[in-house]
Amino acid sequence: MNTGPLRSAGGRSGPRKAAKDDGQARRLRERLVNECLDSIVEGDVGMARAMIRASAEVAPGADRDVAELRRLLRPLGKAPCAPDLTSRILAETQHRRPFLSCSTRHQISAWRVALAASLLGLITGGYLISELGNPSADDRLAVTSRPSTLAAVSPTVSLAPDLLIPHDSQRSKPDVYLSFANEASLESPFRRTHDVFVAQSVGIPSIMESISARPDHPALAGRSPTADARASANVTELAAASRGQASLLLGSRTPNATILLGSGDVGSAFAHSRRSPEGSTLLGGFRGLDDAALTPDFLRGTGTHQNLMQPWIKLRPPVRSRPW
Amino acid sequence: MNKSQELRLIRKAAAGHRDSAEQLVQTFQGSLYGYILRISGRPDVSEDVVQEAFVRVLTNLDRFDPRFRFSTWLFTIGRRVYFNMCEKKKPLSDSAGLETWRDVSDSGNGRIDRADTTTACRDVLQAELMRLPSDQREVVVLFHQHEWPIALIAEHTGMPVGTVKSHLHRARIKLRDGLTHRPEPLGVETLKMQEVGR
């Protein structure tokens, strides 16, 4: 067997392999030294020691290399002596954006405090005015129990010919609608009385249609020809509240809900609805009307109310089992 | 100075308080100067950069994000100022920078004063630093001089953490080789003398 080439190859590869191994060992050691130094500088000396211990066999003397490198780089940790540039810097800063004197700073602080205080006062004042102008629904209901107010409003609503009462009004149904439509809309009333407990209607057709078209509230009662005794009986209590020029709130309490009829602008009516008791429903409001304008003629649709109607504002489902 | 003291000073300086601004400058100018001097090798450039960086910082203190350290913000601005200056002026080469460094450090007769061993060591070290590529030099300075964590260096320089580590490792090897195999091993000798002296 001719082994010459193998031997010669082996003879050449031996030193190459050894050199390669040396190179690998050197790289491994350098890498270890670097990792250790990273850990030491970042404060994890324990990790560095553990690494050195773990690799003591494959990279002997790595600890000496680490110590040597640390020693060589130690002067780098000392910052060079720096000239004092403070005066130059402050002078240049003063030139670009002047520092403020003590009195000016105090003036600015005082102005800021005054501004904040005035803003706070404005916000508080606005809130108080709005609260005084729009008392809560509970307050209003308490106020409306005054006999004079009730006496003034009850006949008005009781006389309205468009007060609608379905035949099965004694049944407990969840949805109560208070809407407004003119006479024309009442010529072809929507009769879905099985869904309706009570409804009152005065106003323009589009509103009725929009209400009745709602799939989740499909009910709108038919028309009662006159405001009869039953109608008056159902309007068991009227709640009217007005303070000064504030809007008027009419309430009709039924076994299942409170119907609130707001007069005034949209904002005030909406505020009423938000403050109304749980289970109340507010469907419409009159814009620009005060108590005096809410006359029987107006409610009959003979007034000029059509242009004053506000669209549907809000509907909240009443509480079914709430006792009144 | 802890972070709350730092923030208080910054707030007062931002409100136009001169004394607070002065205290900020006095606290941080040394470290910024050292950083710029190490990466530029030129004291004159460092002074200009420190001045410009501080002026920018002091006139924009209201933009400071208190989630970070003031020094990080200052170094970032200083670094930007330095690179802008480099682009505008096309500064001297690294060797020229080294010469400038030596001019300043020498005791006037063209020879390093051996009595000032620390200065001499730093000169040798600075000479080796200036032989490094600028990326490696900056990483080494931030890590070993200012002891910034690698992650912060990566954020500051805009390099990935792996790249920062790689720069750091290569730079150390070059520094070690340069310092130990120096034809005129002044720095190492002096270092050894220092060690023996301790």
Q: Are A73 and B172 in contact (CB under 8 A)?
A: yes
Place of tokens 């190459």: A16
- Tens-place pLDDT, residues A175-189: 333 333 333 333 333
User: Among B91, B106, B123, which residue terminates a domain?
Assistant: B91
Burial class (CB in 10 A: 0-12, 13-18, 19+), A218: middle
Residues B58 and B130 in one domain: no
pLDDT computed for residue A46 by the predictor = 80
Burial A44-82 (b: 16+ CB within 10 A, else e): eeeebeebbeebeeebeebbebbeebbebbebbeebbeb
Q: Say yes or no: B85 and B101 in one domain.
A: no
CB contact under 8 A, B25 and A90: yes
Could you tell me which residue, A10 or A94, shows the higher pLDDT? A94
CATH code of the domain in which B58 resides: 1.10.1740.10
pLDDT over 50 at A248, yes or no: no
Count Cα atoms within 13 angstroms, Cβ side, for B50: 32
Chain CA centroid to CA A72, Å: 62
Q: Token pair for residue B40?
A: 């530029």
> Using the beta-carbon criterion (under 8 Å), do B33 and A42 form an inter-chain contact?
no
d(CA A194, CA A172): 10
Residue A285, classed as helix, strand or coil, is strand
Tens of pLDDT, residue by residue, chain B (198 residues): 778 888 888 888 888 788 888 998 999 999 999 999 988 888 888 999 999 999 999 888 888 888 888 889 999 999 999 998 888 776 454 444 444 444 444 333 333 333 344 455 557 888 888 889 988 999 999 988 888 888 889 988 889 988 998 998 899 888 888 888 765 544 444 444 444 444
A38 to chain B: which residues are within 8 Å by CB? 150, 165, 168
Region of poorest pLDDT, from A98-102, A239-243, B63-67? A239-243
Q: Tell me which range, A100-109, A124-133, A280-289, is most confidently predicted by mean pLDDT.
A: A124-133
Instruction: Tokens for A88, please give them.
Output: 């130059």
pLDDT surpassing 60 at residue A94: yes
Q: What is the CATH number of the domain that holds B110?
A: 1.10.10.10
Residues B87 and B126 in one domain: no
Residues B120, B67 share a domain? no
Query: In this complex, do A38 and B165 lie within 8 Å of one another by their Cβ atoms?
Result: yes
Q: Which of these three, B91, B113, B146, is where a domain ends?
A: B91
Q: How many CB atoms lie within 10 A of CB B176?
A: 18
Question: How many domains does chain B divide into?
Answer: 2
Structure tokens at B115: 């009595």
pLDDT at residue A48, rounded to an integer? 76
Pair (B3, B85) in one structural domain: yes
- Residues of A in CB contact (< 8 Å) with B are 30-31, 34, 37-38, 41-42, 68-69, 71-80, 82-86, 88-90, 92-94, 96-100, 104-105, 108
Segment A229-236 shows an average pLDDT of 28
Instruction: Kindly give the interhelix angle for B18-40 and A86-96, rounded to the nearest 10 degrees.
Output: 120
B25: closest chain A residue by CA = A86
pLDDT score, position A116: 92
A89 to B38: CB separation less than 8 angstroms, yes or no: no
Taking the CB of residue A311, how many other CB atoms lie within 10 A of it?
14
Q: B182 and B98 in one domain? A: yes
The three-state DSSP-derived secondary structure of chain B is: CCHHHHHHHHHHHHCCCHHHHHHHHHHHHHHHHHHHHHHHCCHHHHHHHHHHHHHHHHHCHHHCCCCCCHHHHHHHHHHHHHHHHHHHHCCCCHHHHHHHHHHHHCCCCCCCCCCCHHHHHHHHHHHHHHHCCHHHHHHHHHHHHCCCCHHHHHHHHCCCHHHHHHHHHHHHHHHHHHHHCCCCCHHHHHHHHHHHHC
Q: Is the dihedral of CA B43, B48, B49, B55 positive or negative?
A: positive
SS3 percent helix, strand, coil of chain A, rounded to 5, is 55, 10, 35
Query: Burial level of A28, CB count in 10 A (0-12/13-18/19+)?
Result: middle
Assess whether pLDDT exceeds 80 at residue A9: no
CA gap A157, A167 in Å, rounded: 20
Same structural domain, B78 and B107: no
Q: Nearest Cβ partner of A79 from B30, B168, B195?
A: B30
Mean pLDDT of chain A: 52
Stretch (H or E) spanning A280: strand A280-286
Q: Would the CB atoms of A82 and B29 count as touching at under 8 Å? A: yes
What's residue B147's pLDDT?
Answer: 86
Q: Which of residues 72-91 of B touch A (CB under 8 A)?
A: none
For residue A285, the cross-strand partners are A262
For residue B16, which residues of chain A lie inside 8 Å, CB to CB?
98-100, 104-105
Same domain, B76 and B110: no
Residue indicated by tokens 């009307």: A289
- Taking only the tens place, the pLDDT of each residue in A188-221 is 333 322 222 223 333 333 333 333 333 333 222 2
Q: Are B191 and A71 a contacting pair, CB within 8 Å? A: yes
Domain-terminating residue out of B62, B91, B120: B91
Do B102 and B21 share a structural domain?
A: no
Q: Which residues sit opposite A196 in a β-bridge?
A: A175
Residue-wise pLDDT for A112-157, tens only, equals 888 999 999 999 998 888 766 554 433 332 223 334 433 443 443 3
The domain spans of chain A are 12-73, 137-308
Domain interval for residue B104: 94-198
CB under 8 Å to A283, separation ≥6 — which residues? Answer: A177, A178, A179, A180, A211, A312, A313, A314, A315
Say yes or no: B67 and B102 in one domain: no
Q: Is A171 helix (H, G, I), strand (E, B) or coil?
A: coil
- B138 and B81 in a common domain: no
| Together in a domain, B87 and B98 | no
